[in-house]
Amino acid sequence: MNKLRTTTIGLTIAAAALLVGAQDLSELRPLLLNRTDEARKALGIVVGLVDATGERFIASGVTAPGGTVAPDADTVFEIGSITKVFTSLVLADMVVRGEVKLEDPVAKFLPQTVRVPSRGGREITLLDLSNQVSGLPRLPDNLKPADQNDPYADYGPAKLYEFLSGATLTRDIGEKYEYSNLGVGLLGQALALKAGISYEELVRRRVLEPLGMTDTTITLTEAQKKRLAAGSGPTLRPVGNWRFDALAGAGALLSTSRDMLKLLTAAMGLRETPLRGTFDLMLQKRRPTGTPDLDIAMGWHIWTKYGAGIVWHNGGTGGYRSFAGFDPKARTGVVVLCNTSFGVDDLGLHALEPKWPVGRFRPPVERKPVAVDEAVLQGYVGEYELRPDFTLTVTRSGGRLTMKATGQPMFEYLAASPTEFFRTAGDIRITFLKNSSGAVTALVLYQDGFDREAKKIK
């Protein structure tokens, strides 16, 4: 990695037409610089781009808090829940080889002493776990880490089996999609037991070696440790790396943008690999999630919003965020890796579909509350419609405003000016708009890099 100033290397995603298939990436600069340098929301970000013309990598920021080393295509990041794609790849490979069936109950591959919950005469199958419709919760209720900053490190097989043996399903298996680290972690554990090797070794043999992915792993070599980007939290302070035991299949892998593009090129068929049939099987087993325009396949999610069919997964650990996705029709792929717990999904999705909105973040500003006339505050009281099923209710409490969104708690906002208000926690602001007569007509909510206008309806 080269030692460069962050302001000289940042490139970002502004439009997919420029991102994929174009050699001039100069217009991609503003968004990454906005996150790492201007708004200081993230330490470092690396984006890998691939299509039929080849691979390109762009980056911004630094690899560690207070550091000067710029990230690059070979910088190592935790990829978190993108690991789930690899777990389902292993399952699909074992199915293609005839070693297991998708309809096999997971209990078949666990110790006989383990009682896996069932319901209505139906058992949880391997496909249920991959599609995340098993009825198991997101996390087990006996996940009580000794170190809250490393939550999965001491959750071993004994705790997993203890939870399963005492669990009761609250709904029918297959009835509803519910994202579950527990479920996919269980899948990885069961497949490793079937193969008679560790989960890490299983992924290496079945996926990494066939795809030529030499920089994706759980246990880092000494050379990889030197290329590891240090994770950071929302305030950009250092946080430790996560370790996994029994739930490794849900989030244990680390990788680089260069290595992740090997996964995407294989998935899109841009190169021939022994796993072609495996990738095809994964997308064939698809079902709705209950969210409009979003399906779940084996491991992958699929957005059909804006008419696109983007196949993707994201990941997040204590100090990292990641996104990997591709458009199977256009055969374009993108990976985004970040060493801060700050979302990058919008960058990846916008790269593949330019209609997808992408956040633009404002530089941090120190705000001091000011006094605003009570009559002015009273004019802001009312209901504002952000969308038909989501309203913002503004009320007045003394010399301050409070706002409650549909289904969310009420928060207090302080005045930065007679028209702009802010929350003391988080970069969330509201600005009130008036017509030529001075009547309040709308508010603009700024959150997560987006400005959203809500019309006053009451």
What pLDDT is attached to residue 194? Answer: 98
Q: State how far Cα 56 lies from the chain centre.
A: 22
Is 182 among the domain residues?
Answer: yes
| Assigned domain for 266 exists | yes
Does the residue 233 lie in any domain? yes
Question: Is residue 344 domain-shared with residue 398, that is, in the same domain?
Answer: no
User: Is position 50 within any domain?
Assistant: no
Residue 400 and residue 347 in one domain: no
Please state, in angstroms and rounded to a whole number, the distance separating the CA atoms of residues 284 and 458: 48
* Residue 176: domain span: 77-352
Q: Give the whole-angstrom CA distance, residue 61 versus residue 113.
A: 51
Nearest partner of 80 among 2, 184, 160, 207, judged by Cα: 184
Residue 136 contacts residue 218 (beta carbons within 8 Å): no
Q: Answer yes or no: is 99 within a domain.
A: yes
**One-letter amino acid of 423:** R
The whole-number mean pLDDT for each consecutive block of 10 residues of the chain, a chain of 458 residues, reads 29 33 53 93 95 94 96 98 98 98 98 96 97 96 95 97 97 96 98 98 98 98 98 94 98 98 97 97 95 96 93 97 96 97 94 90 85 92 91 88 90 93 86 93 90 92
Are 329 and 380 in a shared domain?
no
Considering the domain architecture, whether residues 121 and 81 belong to the same structural domain is answered as: yes
Is 134 within 8 Å of 183 (Cβ atoms)? Answer: yes
Amino acid symbol at 383: E
**Apex 7 CA angle, 448 and 365, nearest 5:** 40
**pTM of the predicted model, to two decimals?**
0.85
Look at residues 317, 352, 387 and tell me which one is the last residue of a structural domain. Answer: 352
Rounded-to-integer distance, Cα 451 and Cα 448, Å: 9
Residues 218 and 253 in one domain: yes
Q: What angle (nearest 5°) sits at the alpha carbon of residue 115, between those of residues 282 and 198?
A: 50
pLDDT at 28: 65
**Can you tell me the distance from the alpha carbon of 59 to that of 392, in angstroms, rounded to the nearest whole number?**
37
CATH number at residue 416: 2.40.128.50
Q: What is the pLDDT of residues 213-263, one digit of tens each?
A: 999 999 999 999 999 999 999 889 999 999 999 999 999 999 999 999 999
348 and 386 co-located in one domain:
no
Question: What is the model's pLDDT at position 9?
Answer: 26
- Residue 229 has which token pair? 């980007």
> Which residue type does 239 have?
V
Burial class of residue 22 (count of CB atoms within 10 Å of its CB; 0-12, 13-18, 19+)? middle
Please give the Cα distance from 249 to 139 (Å, whole number).
13
Read off the tokens for 93. 């490979």
Same-domain check for residues 283 and 189: yes
Domain CATH code at residue 103: 3.40.710.10
Look up tokens 């505050």; give the residue: 377
- The DSSP string of 390-407 is EEEEEEEETTEEEEEETT
| Residue recorded with tokens 């990292």 | 320
The candidate with the shortest Cα–Cα distance to 268, out of 352, 196, 366, 193, is 352
User: Does 101 share its domain with 241?
Assistant: yes
Element (H, E) at 421: strand 420-422
Looking at the domain assignment, is residue 40 inside a domain? no
Last-in-domain residue among 322, 352, 382 = 352
**Angstrom distance (rounded) from CA 256 to CA 215:** 7
Is the CB of residue 247 less than 8 Å from the CB of residue 190?
A: no
Residues 129 and 217 reside in one and the same domain:
yes
Number of domains forming the structure of the chain: 2
* Same domain (yes/no): 348, 388: no
Residue 52 resides in a domain: no
Do 400 and 276 share a structural domain?
no
Same domain, 345 and 392: no
Which DSSP helix (H) or strand (E) runs through 189?
helix 181-195
Evaluate whether 344 touches 336 at the Cβ level (below 8 Å): yes
Inside any domain, residue 33: no
Instruction: Tell me the DSSP string of 89-153.
Output: HHHHHHHHTTS--TTSBGGGGS-TT-----BTTBPPBHHHHHHT-SS--SS-TT---SSTTSTTT
